[in-house]
């Protein structure tokens, strides 16, 4: 079903390590509007779809969302630098920084673990599509907030790319 391509959809780079920016980007990795939620929502919704073309579309979108997740995780790694140091992260949850070693982790920016409760799945195609449209819009809002708060051109380029991919 899935095939990993070693090339990211878009080049990911940062101008300089910044543990606070890394902590902020965690929101789009493991938060309720994040890429893991999006990927698993489309994937789980596809299981009930009988029309092969619509099912394929949902699976294609799930694959795209997984690639976005990989880009966010790569950005977090680059922002943390070669030797992550939790004392440089002054935002987020200190315990989460210590327990994860500042690696990309399936939690939000505050350190709360990702949960399947974030996923909306009804079994009704129309309701699921409407839920997905709303979820894409919420993800865009979070990316817009991150873009305004992060002053790293490399990270902002990645956010801009991801922001423009969040289309319903």
Q: pLDDT tens digit string along 118-140? A: 999 999 999 999 999 999 999 99
Residue 9 placed within a domain: no
Note whether residue 6 is domain-resident: no
How many angstroms separate the CA atoms of 167 and 98, rounded?
Answer: 35
Q: Which residue's entry shows tokens 């440089």?
A: 88
Of the ranges 21-25, 42-46, 102-106, 153-157, which one carries the lowest mean pLDDT score? 102-106
Count of the separate structural domains present in the chain? 1
pLDDT of residue 48: 93
Say if residue 49 is exposed, middle or buried (CB neighbours under 10 Å; 0-12, 13-18, 19+).
Answer: middle
Chain CA centroid to CA 125, Å: 24
C-alpha 55/C-alpha 113 separation (Å) is: 29
pLDDT at 100 over 70: no
Q: How far apart are the first and last CA of the chain?
A: 23
Count CA atoms within 13 Å of residue 63 on its CB side.
12
**pLDDT for position 89:** 58
Q: Is residue 1 part of a domain?
A: no
Q: How far apart are CA 59 and CA 74, in angstroms?
A: 23
Q: Could you say which DSSP state residue 89 is in?
A: -
The full length of the chain comes to: 168
> What is the model's pLDDT at position 81?
82
What are residue 107's phi and psi, to 5 degrees? -145, 170
Does residue 98 belong to any structural domain of this protein? yes
Distance CA 54, CA 42 (A): 11
Within a domain: residue 144? yes
Q: Which of 67, 48, 68 is nearest to 58 (CA)?
A: 48
Confidence at 111, pLDDT banded by 50, 70, 90: confident
Judge whether 79 lies within some domain. Answer: yes
Residue 168: predicted pLDDT: 53
49: CATH: 1.20.1260.10
Domain span including residue 38: 19-165
Asked whether residue 112 is assigned to any structural domain, the reply reads yes
- Give the model's pLDDT for residue 88: 57
pLDDT single digits (tens) 8-60: 999 999 999 998 899 899 999 999 999 999 999 999 999 999 999 999 999 99
Looking at residues 134-161, what average pLDDT do you find?
Answer: 97
**Would residue 3 count as lying in a domain?**
no
DSSP strands (E only) in 69-132: none
69-85 pLDDT tens trace: 999 999 999 998 866 55
> What does pTM read for this prediction?
0.89
With contact defined as beta carbons under 8 Å apart, do 43 and 56 qualify?
no
More confident residue, 19 or 66: 66
Band of the pLDDT at 102, cuts 50, 70, 90?
A: low
């Amino acid at each position: 079903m899935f095939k990993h391509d070693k090339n990211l959809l878009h080049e990911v780079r940062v101008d300089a390590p910044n543990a606070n920016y890394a902590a902020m980007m965690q929101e789009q990795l493991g938060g309720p509007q994040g890429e893991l939620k999006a990927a698993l929502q489309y994937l789980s919704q596809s299981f009930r779809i009988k029309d092969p073309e619509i099912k394929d579309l949902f699976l294609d979108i799930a694959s795209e969302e997984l690639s976005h997740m990989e880009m966010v995780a790569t950005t977090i790694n680059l922002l943390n630098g070669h030797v992550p140091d939790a004392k440089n992260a002054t935002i987020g949850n200190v315990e989460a920084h210590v327990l994860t070693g500042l690696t990309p982790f399936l939690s939000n920016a505050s350190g709360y673990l990702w949960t399947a409760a974030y996923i909306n799945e009804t079994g009704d195609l129309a309701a699921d599509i409407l839920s997905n449209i709303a979820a894409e819009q919420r993800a865009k809002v979070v990316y817009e907030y991150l873009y305004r708060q992060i002053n790293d051109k490399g990270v902002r380029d990645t956010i801009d790319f991801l922001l423009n991919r969040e289309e319903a």
